[in-house]
A and B are shown apart, each in its own frame.
Chain A
Amino acid sequence: MAFNVANLRKDFPIFERTIRDGKKLVYLDSGATSQKPLSVIEAESDFYKFHNAAVHRGAHQLAEEATDAYEGARLKVAKFLGAHEDEIVFTKGATESLNLIAYAMGNAMPGTRFALTSKDKIVVTEMEHHANLIPWQQLAARTGAQLSWFEVTPDGRLDLSNINSVITENTKVVALTHQSNVLGTIIPLKAIVARAHEVGAVVVLDACQSAPHMPIDVKELDVDFLVFSGHKALGPTGVGVLWSSELDDLPPFLYGGSMIETVTMTSATWAPAPRKFEAGVPNMAQAVGLGAAVDYLTNIGMSNVHEHEAVLTKYLIEKLLQVPDLKIVGPTDLASRGGTVSFTVGEIHPHDLGQYVDSQGVAVRTGHHCAWPLTRKLGVPATTRASLYLYNDESDCDALFDAILGAQKYFA
């Protein structure tokens, strides 16, 4: 193992508490949100305690310190992604990042690069989280563009057999998840990016489930937009990231203070990116907290995080497959999959299963995981999902295993 989990867990205050009458907290819901190390909690509270002022405004020391802290966080995030700091926009979350891209494209003047018409196509996949589906459905509805998608195979992979007829000469945008939040599938990005760029489309990558778990280099991925949320990557809620090398050509989404260059009573011009996408006083303390989260992850090393999760995912899947009547929904082979494992257990409804394992101190997610078209396609109304992170170990997987066996007895 690349690092000592027992020592690392001491950095996370929440693991000091117990659950349901004194039981050890077994947190297997990091796909929904991660727990926070003390350094992140303190970075956020220290900002309020010692440096609080509106960034980019004010001629005083606090404003200087606040701006330094905020822009420092931007630089950290940029390095984390192998990007330039001017390519990083702070949003309130990945959902806002994706809406920003879709709305900004909708704001593009007719005839300009990102303007969509009824002749254009937007491509998504069947395994998108609602946050990377609905903004595109709505953009298609507003512009008349056609929405099409890659289908999912029964074993939970993207079907690229018809890639050339899904991504056509008319395709302007290909928006897709890097790693499914339900299945754990890591998609074959390279082939999709190559085809998208061949026809001049931009690729929007939802990296919510990948950026917290593996090394990301935007140049290597060769995508045009990438988003992730802070709170799934050890950071605070209320802050997300939008990275793009194409920000200069993209019109603004939200208008207001901070994002302008000049303003008259009848018109305005925009500040250069990333400022033109950050109207209003931003979520400063949260961005600074995310900077601390990125420091924490960088210090451990994203390759180590990834390796730890790969080993643990293998252990978890092997363990789960020993449970009678348990079916994994998604790939069981470990190639190109992450530490998110969805499953069903016989006739026990996921809510009932989730409730029982919770009584044993085990936190999992149940339901359609905000990817309703996907669960519908796979023919399951809901699943139970365990998602791993750097603070989980074999004992957490064992606890889930024991709790599932307990549920089978309880609901027999």
Chain B
Amino acid sequence: MELDSLYQEVILDHYKHPLNKGLSAPYGAQVHHVNPSCGDEVTLNVTAEDGVIKSITWDGVGCSISQASVSIASDLLTNKSFAEADAILNEFTELMQSKGTKEGDPDVLDDAVALAGVSKFPARIKCALLGWMAFKDAAVRINTTVKGD
């Protein structure tokens, strides 16, 4: 059924056993993003060193799509440079806007390709993007702070 393309096994796995959940004590930037239409929330702590993301930890409440997506993002973007993370984020955003026409490149997106089916459910795209947009915000803050130093 169509629903199975939305709820891939990988997504439900991440939802039930999220990675990097629980906020780290020290952080370079902390952001809190909400989805005002549904109340989903995520808080993200990001640390970086020499332009490389060292850790992404998070906490949040929300549906399986939003929570699995932030779990996937936190795993995928750790140990990447900000430039690499930016490229992955762009690829993921494009996939979400593809209305089901793209499958996503597993070499770039890894587990995040499992979210491809979300693009066929317009109301759920913002769920999948919540954690990624929070990361984007955190990255900007970290880099502004560093430059400010």
Residue ranges of A at the interface with B (Cβ–Cβ < 8 Å): 20-21, 349-352, 355-356, 359, 366-368, 372, 375, 381-382, 410-411
Residue in A closest to B66 when the chains form the complex, CB atoms: A351
Contact of B64 among A349, A375, A382 (CB under 8 A): A349
Is B37 an interface residue when CB atoms closer than 8 A count as contact? yes
Task: Give every chain A residue within 8 A of B124 (Cβ-Cβ).
Answer: 351, 355
Task: Give every chain A residue within 8 A of B41 (Cβ-Cβ).
Answer: 381
Is B2 an interface residue when CB atoms closer than 8 A count as contact? yes
Contact B121 A367 (CB under 8 A): no
Contact of A382 among B6, B38, B65 (CB under 8 A): B38
Contact of B39 among A355, A356, A372 (CB under 8 A): A372
Contact A411 B12 (CB under 8 A): yes
Is B61 an interface residue when CB atoms closer than 8 A count as contact? yes
Contact A349 B1 (CB under 8 A): no
A375 and B6 contact, Cβ closer than 8 Å, known pairs A349-B62, A411-B12 = no
Contact A349 B63 (CB under 8 A): yes
A359 and B1 contact, Cβ closer than 8 Å, known pairs A351-B63, A351-B127, A352-B64 = yes
Q: State A382–B40 Cα separation when bound (angstroms).
A: 8
Residue in A closest to B63 when the chains form the complex, CB atoms: A351
Task: Give every chain B residue within 8 A of A381 (Cβ-Cβ).
Answer: 39-41, 61-62
Residue in A closest to B127 when the chains form the complex, CB atoms: A351
18 A-B residue pairs with Cβ-Cβ distance under 8 Å, sorted by A, are: A20-B2, A21-B2, A349-B62, A349-B64, A351-B38, A351-B63, A351-B127, A352-B7, A352-B64, A355-B6, A356-B3, A359-B1, A368-B38, A368-B39, A381-B40, A382-B39, A410-B7, A411-B7
Q: State A359–B4 Cα separation when bound (angstroms).
A: 10
List which B19-78 residues lie within 8 A (CB) of chain A.
Answer: 37-41, 61-65
Q: State A410–B3 Cα separation when bound (angstroms).
A: 10
Contact A366 B1 (CB under 8 A): no
Contacts A366-B38, A368-B38 given; 10 further ones with Cβ under 8 A? Answer: A20-B2, A350-B63, A351-B38, A351-B40, A351-B62, A355-B6, A356-B3, A381-B41, A382-B40, A411-B7
B16 to chain A, nearest CB (A): 9
Task: Give every chain A residue within 8 A of B37 (Cβ-Cβ).
Answer: 367
Q: State A20–B6 Cα separation when bound (angstroms).
A: 14
Q: State A366–B39 Cα separation when bound (angstroms).
A: 10
Residue in B closest to A21 when the chains form the complex, CB atoms: B2
B38 to chain A, nearest CB (A): 4
Contact B2 A352 (CB under 8 A): no
B6 to chain A, nearest CB (A): 7
Interface core residue of B38, B61, B65, B121 (most chain A CB under 10 Å): B38
Task: Give every chain B residue within 8 A of A410 (Cβ-Cβ).
Answer: 3, 7
Q: State A137–B62 Cα separation when bound (angstroms).
A: 28
Q: State A381–B61 Cα separation when bound (angstroms).
A: 8
Task: Give every chain B residue within 8 A of A349 (Cβ-Cβ).
Answer: 62-64
Contact of B121 among A355, A368, A372 (CB under 8 A): A355
Contact B2 A359 (CB under 8 A): yes
B133 to chain A, nearest CB (A): 17
B127 to chain A, nearest CB (A): 7
Q: State A10–B41 Cα separation when bound (angstroms).
A: 42
List which B62-111 residues lie within 8 A (CB) of chain A.
Answer: 62-65
Contact A351 B65 (CB under 8 A): yes
Task: Give every chain A residue within 8 A of B40 (Cβ-Cβ).
Answer: 351, 381-382
Residue in A closest to B39 when the chains form the complex, CB atoms: A368
Task: Give every chain B residue within 8 A of A351 (Cβ-Cβ).
Answer: 38, 40, 62-65, 124, 127
Task: Give every chain A residue within 8 A of B1 (Cβ-Cβ).
Answer: 359
Q: State A368–B34 Cα separation when bound (angstroms).
A: 13
A367 and B12 contact, Cβ closer than 8 Å, known pairs A349-B63, A351-B127 = no
Interface core residue of A350, A352, A356, A411 (most chain B CB under 10 Å): A352
Q: State A367–B62 Cα separation when bound (angstroms).
A: 10
Q: State A411–B7 Cα separation when bound (angstroms).
A: 9
Residue in B closest to A376 when the chains form the complex, CB atoms: B39
Contact B7 A367 (CB under 8 A): no
Residue in A closest to B61 when the chains form the complex, CB atoms: A381
A143 to chain B, nearest CB (A): 27
Q: State A21–B1 Cα separation when bound (angstroms).
A: 10
Q: State A331–B6 Cα separation when bound (angstroms).
A: 34
Q: State A20–B121 Cα separation when bound (angstroms).
A: 12
Q: Which 6 A-B pairs have CB atoms at the shortest separation, nearest pair first?
A: A351-B63, A349-B63, A367-B38, A359-B3, A368-B39, A381-B61
Q: State A19–B14 Cα separation when bound (angstroms).
A: 30
Q: State A352–B61 Cα separation when bound (angstroms).
A: 13
Contact of B63 among A20, A21, A352, A372 (CB under 8 A): A352
Residue in B closest to A372 when the chains form the complex, CB atoms: B39
Q: State A349–B3 Cα separation when bound (angstroms).
A: 16
Residue in A closest to B36 when the chains form the complex, CB atoms: A372
Task: Give every chain A residue within 8 A of B38 (Cβ-Cβ).
Answer: 351, 366-368, 382
Task: Give every chain A residue within 8 A of B127 (Cβ-Cβ).
Answer: 351
